[in-house]
A and B are shown apart, each in its own frame.
Chain A
């Protein structure tokens, strides 16, 4: 089997358009990349963004700040980072560069725009040594409920087109349902996947998101071992047991503000006390099925991203992969 490949997601340092982002200036980026390298993570997942607050969010911004994509890669290498392994893309985010206020895969008229938009990401990923475009497959549940067959088919068709396009650049498209997603673990996700072309669209499992949504990452992986092309490894201590994904404005009310229970932090480092994800059993399953995609560790919602990176590195190195 191929050896698992590890990367780390830049979203730990704040997401584009969030004022608290800590990767705006080159010297900040250098420090972050060196921390990752010192923790033995040599591949990075970027987060799509637009405009001056997202200097690593898209090709145009990278070219503004580094001149060319190869120069950006040279900068990465100077920091001990070998490649950008993957890029997270959410079509709902607006893009001034594209004159878009956001698009929806459920809207057929938006499909060509999404394909055109993702092409630049796939091409840039290829130039940066990457191989996976990780996409948010639908808006949140509350925005699109009821989740009808027609909506699922429209979204599936959109990602089939993107998957066909990205293949031209040797980039795998993988859909990443989060815990607010319209694609719920189980029936809707199964139906959605059945409408996509398995040769074109893979599944990205985010261990925390699946757990919070009430699913089981291991069961999900074992249901689709050939279709899972990407992992986000992070932990959760709490599940959405109140079904608050259905709440109006759930991105704010639940993910950010913590819902009725005031959950301060949904996402945790892999070895956190009380963590609900059974990583040892998951990795055994990956080994037994010959998983060969990226495992990208995430530290979003950490108050100290560097500290969480080190904690995650410790868990990978001294616990999960210790004999």
Chain B
């Protein structure tokens, strides 16, 4: 789950990480008032979860509160890379001496968190990695011992700082690492991390991505993770409420399956046969009738869906439960779209028998099912 910049900064300042003074606004009037309180020049930042908002017009400077009003008015309600802007962050403009980059990210290969620190910040870090790899220092964090002071100081040296500033950077790194641990982050990234002209360091931008698998120990994020409009489309939010793994796509063929790999392969197959999948929906292992029913209900409620393809290879899942789920939907709201079912595995006979009572004939091979669905069933 991605946090908005203002949310990440609130959590960070609670841990003593310096961020620019500012506040978040939902209206142009509020934005203007915040500017009046802050004084000086400000930056108006669209609060969206997509990366690269700067180039898309989501970061603007303003000298006067009236200007801030105008910028906020333009941004609020607009779309940045397809994401609706509902809030803007108004912050004091920093007297920048240098822009740095620091991140702490999940490192699959080394099975730990890895800290990246670069003297070149404020720009696309992947570009820096390509053109000036020597400018990026990296250090693998021990998952048990965490960051040690000398590791943080070593990184500070790599960033080119000594004296009092060496300790300032190392404290900042330690706090960012604490932030990452406390909130189970996949990513904590400050780009840019600003050195001001008077030699202080502030996280001018801050991104945090929380590991979804850790949400059970973060009740503070649970409600937030189900909010529509943030990262989720209304359909995705509905699916999330029903604990389904669901991603909306652009096409018109609804897809339901069990197991992420199988569902991805089903989507690929539908495309291979010339169809356009409308979604990814994984009911997971051992899904009972109600899960299948809620998946089918959500997918057929979408106007853009013309056909629904159900692909079940039952191991710990049971075909009769899947069939019951489909029949429940038929009984309660009716099957609103042509349905193609491929279903094999545990309790297949019973599942088939149930579906055949409703005149649905499940197929054996997923290729056949995908081909049929791609043709519009």
A and B from one complex: no
